[in-house]
Structure 1
Amino acid sequence: MTNDATYSGVKLGFIGVGNMGGALARAARRSVPGKCIGLAGRTPERVKALAEELDCRASGGIGVAKWADYIFLGVKPQMMPKLLEELKPELSERQDRFVLVTMAAGLTMDRIQELAGGAYPVIRIMPNTPASVGEGMILYTCGEGVTGEEERIFLEAMAGAGRFSALPERLIDAGSAVSGCGPAFADLFLEALADGGVACGLSRTQAMELAAQMLLGSARLALKSKQHPGALKDAVCSPGGSTIQGVRALEAAGFRSAVMEAVIAAYEKTLELK
């Protein structure tokens, strides 16, 4: 948590505090004081609980639209038109500068401006659930109206969410199919690894710890070493050993193709949302 007494910076408002919106609000709270964070959502009980947890403001969407410097639109794509229609009057009346931050899959920044009724500055992000523990992979792109200073402040305020990667908007959907949908694919693999360990005699708790730490360590090794994953895989596969036999079983089951198809299917579904 920050030193609230000395902070006098940016105000962040989150409209929609479900799994992803709540994760980002928690991440923001690591560097932004509660008095500078406002929450709004469809479920008052959830908003109130999170506001108490983070010691920040609970407000309605209109309140956030009037007040925040960065307005996070954390609703599903199909709900965005209704939300922005409700916020239009408040946004149009503001005389100060603000930035809309959208995380809706498939909706371009131009479309957000169209729905909001003005050429407001827009940052489009595609976060993922590990942001809730500060290990997120957040893709982002800034619209033409966003200044370099606004981008810098945004990145500083949200640094607690994890790693940020700037992508041109035309690649955001493809990137999201990997990092945004990927946690679900990784969790399936994690569960399967643990199930295999249980089948071999480990307790469920032991198997889950071994599998989860192995995935975490492998990911960190790939990022730090910058080696090709094929080379990292080869380093574990001793000639005639047990690991290569496991790799053989995965290849025989079409593991690599199944993962590629999962990413492509997620990407194609995202395109349909446009």
Structure 2
Amino acid sequence: MRFGFIGTGNMGGALARAARRRLAGEDLLLANRTEAKAAALAKELGAPLSNNRTIAGNADYIFLGVKPQMMGELLKELAPVLAERTDRFVLVTMAAGLTIAGIQSMAGGDYPVLRVMPNTPCSIGEGMILYTPGPGVTATETDSFLEAMAGAGRFALVPEGLMDAGSAVAGCGPAFVDLFVEALADGGVACGLPRAQAQAFAAQMVLGSARLILESGKHPGALKDAVCSPGGTTIQGVRKLEEAGFRGAVMDAVIAAFEKNGTLKC
């Protein structure tokens, strides 16, 4: 089973690293518009450097790791190669907003398409990956994909109609959290903490809080209440966040990302 990655940027590279945890280096094929980037990753993973057409003609799972606005040009290039194949293969798209039907249309054939929405923590095995198998993808192909990519993190099957909403939370969310961690660290620095310590405190706090939500099964509001002692310091901080419209701003960020996905649809 060969996994080919066309595009080894932040997301493609993260998924390739995740795949390497389960697959041998020779089972990965790597290509990128800037060849040096793919060459560096190939050296890191012990995988062969390849090119778009070779991957399209030989990989069992072809990861289309390019931006949505570049997908049409890429698939136009690959269409003749895909049309010549007589064996099974699956196109794996991670492009925001582009539907399975849209990918098939651009590729020029009714090919099996697996739509995924990963996030950058996949690179350390802590990703949240949403996936939707297209109608042409068999259960065996889906299972093989999930087994090979298990090193990326948690997977969740979602209807394609909810992929944009899910990606606005799980896919865009790391940037929102990074911004929050940076702000927490800035606050710590303002209070006298060294920068490195403030950042480490904030990052570990977010990591631990997230695990507590997942492992306890408790509602985040209940966990928040458990920290807010009557007349204590935490509730005063919460009050300031509420005054600043913190929750509303986060909700607006998710909705804005979701609406932007809608403008990319094909």
Give the TM-score normalised by the residue count of structure 2: 0.99
Q: CA deviation at 1:41?
A: 1.1
Residue of structure 2 in register with 1:89 after alignment: 80
Per-residue CA deviation, residues 136-188 of structure 1 (Å, 9 max, x unaligned), is 00010001111111010000111111110110000000000001000010001
Q: 1:131 aligns with which of 122, 147, 151?
A: 122
Q: 2:94 aligns with which of 93, 98, 103?
A: 103
**For the residues of structure 2 that align with 1:182 and 1:167, how far apart are their CA atoms?**
17
Q: 1:114 aligns with which of 84, 105, 108?
A: 105
Residue 185 of structure 2 corresponds to residue 190 of structure 1: no
**For the residues of structure 1 that align with 2:35 and 2:174, how far apart are their CA atoms?**
28
Q: Within 5 Å, which residues of 2 pair with 1:31-110?
A: 31-110=22-101
Residue of structure 2 in register with 1:4 after alignment: none
**For the residues of structure 2 that align with 1:256 and 1:220, how far apart are their CA atoms?**
21
Q: CA deviation at 1:75?
A: 0.3
Residue of structure 2 in register with 1:220 after alignment: 211
Give the TM-score normalised by the residue count of structure 1: 0.96
**For the residues of structure 1 that align with 2:63 and 2:217, how far apart are their CA atoms?**
33
Q: 2:231 aligns with which of 233, 236, 240?
A: 240
Residue of structure 1 in register with 2:259 after alignment: 268
**For the residues of structure 1 that align with 2:212 and 2:236, how far apart are their CA atoms?**
23
Secondary structure (helix, strand or coil) at the match of 1:57 reads: coil
Residue 158 of structure 2 corresponds to residue 167 of structure 1: yes
Secondary structure (helix, strand or coil) at the match of 1:58 reads: coil
Secondary structure (helix, strand or coil) at the match of 1:188 reads: helix
Q: 2:144 aligns with which of 149, 153, 172?
A: 153
Residue of structure 1 in register with 2:2 after alignment: 11
**For the residues of structure 1 that align with 2:197 and 2:38, how far apart are their CA atoms?**
36
Structure 1 counterpart of 2:93, one-letter code: T
Residue 133 of structure 2 corresponds to residue 142 of structure 1: yes
The total of aligned residue pairs comes to: 265
Q: Percent identity?
A: 70
Secondary structure (helix, strand or coil) at the match of 2:116 reads: strand
5+ residue gaps, structure 2, are none
Q: CA deviation at 1:48?
A: 0.8
Runs of 4+ in 1 over 4 A off after TM superposition: none
Q: CA deviation at 1:57?
A: 1.2
**For the residues of structure 1 that align with 2:78 and 2:191, how far apart are their CA atoms?**
56
Q: CA deviation at 1:226?
A: 1.0
